[in-house]
Structure 1
Amino acid sequence: MILNIKDICQGLPGLSKTSGAHLFEGCVVCLSRHNHNPAGTTFSIYGDEEINYQITWENIFDDQLNRTWNDQFYTTEHGAVCLAILIALKMTKYTIIEKSPRKNGFDYWLGDKNDIPFQKKARLEISGIFRGTEQDVNKRYRVKIKQTDQSDSLGLPAYIGIVEFSNPMANFGRKK
């Protein structure tokens, strides 16, 4: 199955087209710095389900983009948000409806894709690792599960997405 990361540029109810393009750029930079092929790179997802996508993207990487995204921590964070949102769209019945304020223990509110006006139905917490192992991804996943504890009183499901770029993979699942 193919996942074109440029799809994020179309925007979502809680993500403008401009913000989507920003996330797309960060993701392209992370993948390009690892010399991944924009015509198709295997992206392994595990957690609640195991699935491999071929991620594709328009190769916009150049010196200017590289300089624009010089802060690797910032770049990894935004690149991971790009891929985790796309995974959430594919693997849940939800869409992004709103960015969560800091200190809530999660990054985005999720809502049903066709439920207007949108209702907050679930939470999404995201993190990225530029270069790491599956063990690093799993360790970060456990940390992020605990981070969402502070908003468990809402009684809503929490999804966690940890993205790694050197050997593109993600641990994506619903908090049990």
Structure 2
Amino acid sequence: MKRFLPYFKYFKPVKWQLLGSVLSGLVYAAATGAGLPLAAKVVFPLIFKDDQVNLGEGEPENSFFVEGLMSWFDQLPGEWLLPVACAWLPLMFFFRAIGGFLNTYLMSYCGYRFLEQIRDEVFTKLQTLPIAFFQKRQAGDLLARLVGDAEIVRSTVGKVAVDIIKQPAVLIAALVFLISEAA
């Protein structure tokens, strides 16, 4: 971890974008890990049942999430129940898409700004090096190192960091939902 500490200073100018990326990743995770299972447990039986639905009747004890959603659906007027239930799944996919898009966009923005600062420091350092340094090395090798290594860093920050936020959060949201169902 000590190896990565010097690089955290590059995220300071984009701390709000980074926070927005993390929060939108959590929205994505909640919509995926809990919203879709809630749809399967509560909303689908409402939509695909023929007779009048009394939520929770004859069911085993449900989790906090399921009970909350069922009580919310119970409070809806009868003519609103089916349209709201049908809108649940598209809304979950909407929040999932918006969360995923903002997470990817903001994390890519942070990655580009991160790379911009590193390239600026490298360029400043290159300007201070003596001419003998450039005479010893081939220009193509130096240029390939600067561009290639910087692109690897950008790719790591921009692409891998997106999944490092979203995927564990989806797993945690799904586990929380499953554990609350089992309890």
TM-score bin, normalised by smaller chain: under 0.3
Taking structure 2 as the reference length, what is the TM-score of the superposition?
0.26
TM-score, normalization by structure 1: 0.27
Q: Counting strand residues as a fraction of each chain, which structure ranks higher? A: 1
